[in-house]
């Protein structure tokens, strides 16, 4: 196959776009998709201070690399979850990446704070992934708020969000379906939470990382084995093989035409509180994270 732009040998073929690209033109295509997402969903501009949540995986490192390259004011934020070798390896990738590109990052270490995920999962009756999600969200919000970041950016890609949408649809969770936009006005403490890779698939992000020498941790988190999100991703991949473009339409048309029907009216919105323990905004007087921590004590 030949590159659609220059006719040279294509390194990647994208069936949903019915096109192949050489390295140079794939990079151009990739950046354009990110620019389109930022503009279309009014995510942020050059005056914003952006905190990029990084895990050491391909998506978050590619996102950080690109936003920095595009000239945005970025800082990485990494939570060391304390999940044995997996966390050690991912921290190594994050450190190596920051050093290589001269980028600054903030690191929160759950083991040093006395509550690694491996300890929390023994004391709290929820799955490790659920505990981890609440914990990461808590620290993302806390660090962003305390350091006056305007924007919290995460590396979720099209596969992640289409799978989440499918999961929320299969169970008809109106509360979650109302929060599927790639740019959510967060709360009074942070301006927006955004997902600039939303127009790109996992495969495209992986190819971009490979072509641009971005070294990431390829291992999946050991706690995610058997996660339902993988089942939804596999189902969508089957559909995508038969009908290229399905994932994108499923997600983007939902956001465009349906999501607003699930959004709560201003008057129906639950009252927000400032958690009396950690000072972070929450629907509850004591947030879920602080309640979990009490169990550890």
The residues of the shown chain that bind ligand FES, judged by CB under 6 A, are 81, 117, 128-129, 132, 221, 223-224
Q: Residue 221 binds which entry of Zn ion, ligand FES, none, with Cβ cut-offs from 5 to 8 Å by kind?
A: ligand FES
In the bound complex, what is the minimum distance in angstroms from residue 145's beta carbon to Zn ion? 12
Q: How far is CA 198 from the centre of its chain?
A: 9
| Closer CB to Zn ion, 70 or 277, in the complex | 277
In the bound complex, what is the minimum distance in angstroms from residue 117's beta carbon to ligand FES? 6
| Closer CB to ligand FES, 189 or 224, in the complex | 224
What DSSP assignment string belongs to 162-190?
HHHHHHHHHTT-HHHHTT--SEEE--SS-
Q: Residue 3 binds which entry of Zn ion, ligand FES, none, with Cβ cut-offs from 5 to 8 Å by kind?
A: Zn ion
In the bound complex, what is the minimum distance in angstroms from residue 287's beta carbon to Zn ion? 3
Answer yes or no: are the C-beta atoms of 68 and 97 closer than 8 Å.
Answer: no
Residues at the contact surface with Zn ion, assessed by CB under 5 A: 3, 5-6, 22, 25, 275, 277-278, 287, 290
Report the half-sphere exposure of 23 (CA within 13 A, side-chain side): 5
Q: Which long-range contacts (CB under 8 A, 24 or more apart) does 210-214 make?
A: 211/11, 211/23, 211/26, 211/27, 212/27, 212/62, 212/65, 214/58, 214/61, 214/62, 214/65, 214/97
In the bound complex, what is the minimum distance in angstroms from residue 221's beta carbon to ligand FES? 3
Q: Residue 128 binds which entry of ligand FES, Zn ion, none, with Cβ cut-offs from 5 to 8 Å by kind?
A: ligand FES
Q: Residue 259 binds which entry of Zn ion, ligand FES, none, with Cβ cut-offs from 5 to 8 Å by kind?
A: none
| Closer CB to Zn ion, 52 or 143, in the complex | 143
In the bound complex, what is the minimum distance in angstroms from residue 295's beta carbon to Zn ion? 13
DSSP state of 271: P
| Closer CB to Zn ion, 1 or 6, in the complex | 6
In the bound complex, what is the minimum distance in angstroms from residue 57's beta carbon to Zn ion? 27
Question: In sequence order, which residues have a C-beta less than 8 Å from that of residue 20 and are 6 or more positions away?
Answer: 1, 2, 3, 4, 10, 11, 12, 13, 14
| Closer CB to ligand FES, 213 or 225, in the complex | 225
Q: Residue 290 binds which entry of ligand FES, Zn ion, none, with Cβ cut-offs from 5 to 8 Å by kind?
A: Zn ion
| Closer CB to ligand FES, 50 or 132, in the complex | 132
Instruction: Check the CA dihedral 196-200-201-207 and report its sign.
Output: negative
Tell me which residue of 47, 2, 46, 41 sits closest to 21, measured CA to CA: 2
């Amino acid at each position: 196959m030949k590159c659609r732009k220059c006719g040279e040998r294509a390194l990647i073929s994208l069936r949903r776009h019915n096109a192949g690209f050489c390295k140079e033109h794939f990079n151009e295509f990739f950046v354009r998709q990110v620019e389109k997402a930022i503009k279309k969903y009014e995510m942020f501009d050059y005056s914003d201070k952006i905190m990029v949540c990084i895990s050491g995986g391909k998506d978050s490192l590619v996102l950080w690399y690109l936003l920095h390259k595009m000239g945005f004011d970025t800082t990485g934020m990494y939570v060391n979850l304390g999940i044995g070798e997996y966390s050690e390896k991912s921290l190594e990738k994050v450190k190596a990446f920051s050093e290589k590109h001269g980028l600054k990052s903030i690191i929160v270490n759950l083991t040093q704070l006395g509550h690694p995920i491996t300890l929390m999962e023994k004391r709290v009756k929820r799955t490790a992934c659920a505990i981890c999600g609440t914990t990461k969200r808590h620290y993302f919000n806390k660090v962003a708020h305390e350091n006056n970041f305007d924007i919290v950016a995460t590396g979720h890609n099209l596969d992640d969000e289409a799978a989440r949408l499918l999961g929320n649809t299969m169970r008809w969770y109106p509360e979650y379906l109302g929060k599927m936009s790639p740019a959510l006005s967060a709360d009074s403490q942070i301006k927006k939470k955004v997902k600039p890779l939303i127009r790109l698939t996992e495969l495209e992000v992986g190819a971009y990382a490979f072509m641009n020498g971005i070294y990431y941790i390829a291992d999946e988190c050991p706690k995610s084995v058997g996660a339902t999100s993988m089942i939804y991703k596999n189902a969508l991949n089957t559909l995508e093989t038969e009908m290229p473009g399905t994932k994108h339409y499923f997600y983007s048309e939902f956001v465009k035409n349906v999501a607003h029907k699930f959004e709560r009216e201003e008057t129906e919105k639950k009252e927000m509180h400032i958690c009396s323990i950690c000072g972070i905004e929450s629907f509850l007087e004591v947030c879920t994270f602080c309640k979990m921590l009490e169990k550890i004590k």
